[in-house]
Amino acid sequence: MPQPKYLMNIDRIERIPESEREQLKRITEKFVFRVNDYYLDLIDWNDPHDPIRKLVIPNAEELGEYGRWDASDEDTNYVVPGCQHKYGTTALLIVSEVCGAYCRYCFRKRLFRNDVKEAVSDIEPGLRYIAQRKEINNVLLTGGDSLILGTPRIRMILERLREIDHVKIIRMGSKIPVFNPMRIYEDEELLDAIRTYSSPEKRIYVMAHINHPREITKEAVKGFEALHNAGAIVVNQTPVLRGINDDPAVLGELLDKLSWAGVTPYYFFVNRPVAGNKAFVLPLREVYEIVEKAKALTSGLGKRVRLSMSHTSGKIEILAIDGGKAYLKYHQSRDNRYGMFMTLDCPDDAAWFDDLPGSEKFWTKPEKKTNAVASVNAMPDMPTSKKLSTGRQAASQKE
């Protein structure tokens, strides 16, 4: 199958009426827009509420007043430019600010603004930091999308990390397995790099971002198989999103299809209160009920998934919401509170941990560790007339 063609101008999508394209330009002038023809072909253009369409085609609520740019205060996790270290054993390298497509719900939507620079081309400071800290045994390559990088650069990063003996696991965050699976199964050099640096003692994990069962096409399954055969372990994570997968039957089908393809259902997330994401937000109670009904439709393999909030203070697992109470525990904690159990009142309209009365007793907002990245939460809105930066445009057009 030929490699898909990438589109960065919404005017080129003629299946969107011209009048609607004109309205959407206001959004694409503020946030980068990118998609490809393979993924566009998954959309049912006769359905105005098509979930695949909602994933990548802008919506008017993106310009509304809602949330914060950095809803989990990632700017407090930077230790050197391009490297975050929030939890003891895990470090993040922000290796790219480019994605195959820019998902409209993205919690790092700030990276797609022209006035934000978090990804770095020079990963040496991050590699030095990781090498000096033996407690770090796994590293996540993220951004942006790690598999959007050219294969020689991916190989170089994998090789450098494998030179650090205490890094046992390398994780690659990516939506490419469903957005452009041909990039995986047709690139023998990429598969060889994974085969070389994923061993029985030191695995490479691909952290896929699959939101809807319709994304799991025969091409995607072929890509999963290629990754498996190269020695990678593929797992999946997705937020529960209004209008996209907020249906127990849809989530149940997703869990089944992932399990059938050998992809581990890893996390269901609560959508973070990120600026521009209002259209996708659901109350916590509703998210919990949808997830539980979905899990009832699948096997024990599908039930391995955890429902969690990636909060400033850590990953907070939602164990149950019942009788107006939320029963929670820290699944990860930046303050060594792993396993702490919490029972809090849960108003019907609560959509985030901070919305639960009394939640402030369990955490304090951290201070920035370094000046490695400028704070984004205080940034003013970018003028909608500002165009895509030349550097990012050039990077995007390499695909």
What is the total count of domains within the chain?
A: 1
Enclosing H/E stretch for 127:
helix 124-131
Q: What is the mean pLDDT of each run of 10 residues along the chain (399 residues)?
A: 88 92 89 92 95 95 88 93 95 92 88 67 94 98 94 97 98 97 97 98 97 98 98 98 98 98 97 92 98 97 96 97 98 92 98 97 81 50 34 37
Q: Is the distance from CB of 177 to CB of 184 less than 8 angstroms?
A: yes
137 located within any domain: yes
CA 144, distance to chain mean position in Å, is 8
In terms of residue numbers, what domain contains 34?
6-370
325 located within any domain: yes
Query: What 3-state class would DSSP assign to 311?
Result: strand
Residue 333 CB contacts under 8 Å (≥ 6 apart), including other chains: 87, 313, 314, 315, 340
392 located within any domain: no
64 located within any domain: yes
Q: Which residue has the tokens 């957005």?
A: 179
397 located within any domain: no
388 located within any domain: no
366 located within any domain: yes
Helices 218-229 and 188-197: crossing angle, nearest 10°?
40
CATH number at 150 reads 3.20.20.70
The reported pTM is 0.91
**CB atoms < 10 A from the CB of 16, how many?**
17
**Across the strands, what pairs with 270?**
240
| Burial (Cβ within 10 Å: 0-12, 13-18, ≥19) of residue 129 | middle
Sign of dihedral through CA atoms 59, 63, 66, 71? positive
Separation of first and last alpha carbons in the chain: 16
384 located within any domain: no
pLDDT at 230: 98
Residue-wise pLDDT tens digits, 28-41: 888 889 999 999 99
